[in-house]
Amino acid sequence: MSIQSVLSRIEQIQDRFDSFWANTVSVKQVIKGEEGEKSSFQKVLKEVISGKGASDYSSLINTYAQKYNLDSALIEAVINTESDFNPEAVSPKGALGLMQLMPATVRELGVTNPFDPAQNIEGGTRYLRSLLDEFKGDLPLALAAYNAGAKTVKEQGGIPPFKETQDYVKKVLGDYRGGGFNGGGR
């Protein structure tokens, strides 16, 4: 398939989404890096090009969200924020896989392969459920603990004053509640 036919197909996809987003960007703007923060089309385009997104993992997400009594949209928002749906992601701090589980958490949860999407999503979902239980259903605190650790959240008496953690909580909640994430797996 030539690059022209790929670009043509992308333009067709964008045309189909234009009715949903009044402020979309063109494929040419995305390619030139001029897209800014205008719309969700960027994420859709990235998913189309990479072939990855929530829909690739929707069955796993739905299975484990149901098993641990969580909203699948919340799990999608966490995965989107943590790894942008990259099952092979490794953070500079050593977090692994889709839900960016730290090695100690991997061991604690009994995950044998953190790069296996099923194990990672189950482990991350179970871990998030345990944090929600620990923080009595307070989602912002549970998300802060997912990012910075439960001990840190307790020591700080709330969401820690770390820019990374505060931005993380805002991003996940924004994607979850505000629909900023549109990965198609819901």
CA atoms in the 13 A half-sphere facing the CB of 120: 26
Nearest-angstrom CA–CA distance, 56 and 75: 14
Q: Strand pairing partners for 96?
A: 90, 101
Q: Using the structure block, give the residue that is written with the tokens 């979309």.
A: 24
Run of H or E residues at 121: helix 117-134
DSSP lists the bridge partners of residue 90 as 96
> Other C-beta atoms within 10 Å of 110: how many?
10
DSSP helix/strand/coil, 90: strand
Token pair listed for 156 = 């700080």
* Residues taking part in catalysis: 82
DSSP 146: H
